[in-house]
């Protein structure tokens, strides 16, 4: 199986989370980190859980979904070692990985349709960081500067 992925949402992203798990569960080793029902929950609790798993390298990547994607991305980025990118289209899903070595994709369930969200996650999880390629020094340098800010 492919890369390990921790996925979570709040109530606003719950249905989209289920659709992503169903669509990509055979391509990637997906762990559902909650919630496990559509009742109202605080997105911060789930953003912290997934961000900690990614930062600790118990998951290769994370997927976070709330109504706008904004709250999840803000909360996840508070965890050292996390580069959570709010993505609203396929090109940004690709560039978040290629240029920024993002390790968590955040989606706003009210701003992206199901098919596009599934494809955005697939692209995000399958795209390599340009800094790992020959000639990728500028991308490595920029990500290193982000890591310096965390210190």
Helix (H, G, I), strand (E, B) or coil at 82: coil
Distances (CA, A) of 143 to 28, 107, 139, 146, 148: 25, 22, 6, 5, 9
Q: Considering all CA atoms of the chain, what is the largest pairwise distance in Å, rounded to the nearest integer?
A: 48
How far does Cα 12 stand from its chain's mean position?
16
Could you say which of 92, 99, 122, 142 is catalytic?
Answer: 99
| Alpha carbon distance 32, 41 (integer Å) | 15
Task: Examine the residue annotation and report whether 11 is marked as an active-site residue of this protein.
Answer: no
Catalytic residue IDs? 99
């Amino acid at each position: 199986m492919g890369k390990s992925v921790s996925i979570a949402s709040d109530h606003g992203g719950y249905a989209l989370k289920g659709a992503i798990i169903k669509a990509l569960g055979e391509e990637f080793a997906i762990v559902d980190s909650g919630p496990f029902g559509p009742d109202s929950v605080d997105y911060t609790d789930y953003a912290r859980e997934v961000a900690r798993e990614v930062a600790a390298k118990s998951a290769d990547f994370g997927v976070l979904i709330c109504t706008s994607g904004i709250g999840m991305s803000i909360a996840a980025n508070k965890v050292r070692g996390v580069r959570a990118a709010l993505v609203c289209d396929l090109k940004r899903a690709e560039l978040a990985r290629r240029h920024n070595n993002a390790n968590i994709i955040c989606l706003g369930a009210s701003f992206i349709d199901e098919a596009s969200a599934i494809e955005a996650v697939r692209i995000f999880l399958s795209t390599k960081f340009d800094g790992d390629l020959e000639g990728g020094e500028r991308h490595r340098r920029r990500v290193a500067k982000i890591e310096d800010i965390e210190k």
